[in-house]
Structure 1
């Protein structure tokens, strides 16, 4: 059965759920939400990020690992009242603090579990246990055509949910996930130059291949890059994560970047002596931007501003490359990082940024 809902990026899904939480907190709207999407596109990360952002406790309930009685609770006989009473399961929120009940793998759960979930999604209750008003309910799951274990969702279940289809977007992933998550700059540079390889599930299914590229698998590649220094061992691990062909292409880029990008050295080198440290390829310059923004501290921010401001002057070394556009993109990321951390004053006192802004204004650029 086709999910005829709007397709959104992970960042857009996060903004929708943030608005849902705000509306529920104001008493204006109470609903249960459903994120559909292929494995690894970032559904779980969206919910985890929302919980962190609103300061909510996350109750992550994997529906493929439980039975109906696990949600209902454990019965015992109350001799005083001669009635059967149910102990509430600890997986359900019972708190005055903000909380998110995340019903993950909903479409993979056994059909026998669905009637128990009905009450949670619509009436916000199981048996006599009612969820507090400060609990946001979000479910997630794969579709049958995604190649994952999944069941078609019946109308009785789907009618209790507000649906969104989450689809991987390289631009959204790089801007809203890669930097906050500390994604390795080599991975970020690779996805920026090969956005078609961020998510390849459909192509892998068509080819009959088991391994596909997904945002989740590239996050794992990032961890491998940071944790495993041996190049040969790393290549085996990465091939087993994203597939042999993307891994081979990524390895070439990784070798190039490791030989040319020297972020710590650039930050500690005086401005007058940095010219020879800039990479001369688009891959290297892109990795420099992501690595610089990811590594910057309050103390190194003035140097980072200088490095990006001088990036446009490297046209002689990086002839024909869009260094001006890359510098602008880098400043967007760096300014966003500074605003998040309360470092914006560094731009007001930076001569390098003042010169950069003046040149853009003189050229009629925003």
Structure 2
């Protein structure tokens, strides 16, 4: 069966869970939630971020690795009462004073024999005599049969116990919500921004019978490979083994161009009069420069970073050539917005108040 609810980005799904969590803590709504989405799309990261934001203890249960008795607990014979009692497992929330998130991952891949036990958790919020505390927020996640993953069809008895969110990969959302805050490699961010269709190629890979596909998770892995593997030949092989041969070949060409033209450390250290000659000349290079400035900025270097970002809009006047054909104003505005957002999160906003470059940028706008 298809997931007949409109698709939403991972960022919007997180917003929905935030609202649901707040409503449950107020006592307005108690429900169980289900994140549907292809492998590697970021479902686990959404729940982990919600737990971090709300200060909740995360109980992460991978349902493909447990049996029904693992949730039910162990029987113990009470000689005095002459009956069997059950000791609940420690990986279920039981503290009424500690906010908790119970994450039932890989729900659609769980063995059918486990599903009746899960029903009680999702609807009655209990297993046997063990009742979950009222401050326990329940989120499940899983893939569908059409995603090429191990999955069972979700029956109506299970589906009816959930609020369903159909999560899809959206490049702009992924860059703003995940890639920039996590400091992924600028080449990865620049490439996904210019080729958003390659953020998630799972459907195309399945259609073509190919094992490897691009996913948000694989792009994060490529970022780690770029920083961890200095040998270019081996690194390119690992990237191909992560993305697939064709997307990797396209990405490697862009990454080599960026590596040769984007020198953020040199630009920060250079005399302001010499910086104009250090700007990369291609759109890919400038895009990577914008994200590199945002992710690599520190409190001490922020004045120089602001000046370099603001200088992008004047490159057509100062360097001429192909710069006149590039969207310099849009790149500058986008970069400034990202830089301001990061600075506010870090408490660095004072640098903007004292920046002549930023004042001139605002006056021109």
Unaligned runs of 5+ in 2: none
Which of 337, 348, 351 pairs up with 2:356? 351
Tell me which residue corresponds to 2:87: 87
SS state at 1:103 partner: strand
Say yes or no: does 1:2 pair with 2:2: yes
Tell me which residue corresponds to 1:341: 346
Deviation track 1:202-256 (CA, whole Å, cap 9, x = no partner) reads 1011101011110011111111011111110011101010100001111101110
Structure 2 Cα separation of the partners of residues 243 and 326 of structure 1 = 30
Give the C-alpha shift of residue 271 in structure 1: 1.8
Tell me which residue corresponds to 1:57: 57
Structure 2 Cα separation of the partners of residues 265 and 28 of structure 1 = 55
Matches within 5 A, 1:231-246: 231-246=232-247
Say yes or no: does 1:204 pair with 2:205: yes
SS state at 1:33 partner: strand
Structure 2 Cα separation of the partners of residues 67 and 302 of structure 1 = 57
SS state at 1:94 partner: coil
Say yes or no: does 1:267 pair with 2:264: no
Say yes or no: does 1:138 pair with 2:143: no
Tell me which residue corresponds to 2:165: 164
Structure 1 Cα separation of the partners of residues 47 and 240 of structure 2 = 29
Deviation track 1:11-69 (CA, whole Å, cap 9, x = no partner) reads 00000001111111111111100000111111111111111111111111000000000
Say yes or no: does 1:45 pair with 2:37: no
Give the C-alpha shift of residue 6 in structure 1: 2.3
- CA gap of 1:182–1:85, structure 2 versus 1, over 3 A, is same
Structure 1 Cα separation of the partners of residues 295 and 136 of structure 2 = 34
Matches within 5 A, 1:223-262: 223-262=224-263
Give the C-alpha shift of residue 157 in structure 1: 0.4
Tell me which residue corresponds to 1:22: 22
Segment of structure 1 superposing worse, 264-273 or 342-351 = 264-273
SS state at 1:35 partner: strand
Structure 1 Cα separation of the partners of residues 186 and 75 of structure 2 = 53
Structure 1 Cα separation of the partners of residues 113 and 24 of structure 2 = 30
Matches within 5 A, 1:60-139: 60-95=60-95, 96-139=97-140
Structure 1 Cα separation of the partners of residues 217 and 167 of structure 2 = 13
Say yes or no: does 1:309 pair with 2:310: yes
SS state at 1:319 partner: helix
Structure 2 Cα separation of the partners of residues 150 and 32 of structure 1 = 20
Structure 1 Cα separation of the partners of residues 50 and 268 of structure 2 = 33
Segment of structure 1 superposing worse, 76-85 or 109-118 = 76-85
**Structure 2 length normalisation: TM-score?**
0.97
Give the C-alpha shift of residue 151 in structure 1: 0.6
SS state at 2:165 partner: strand
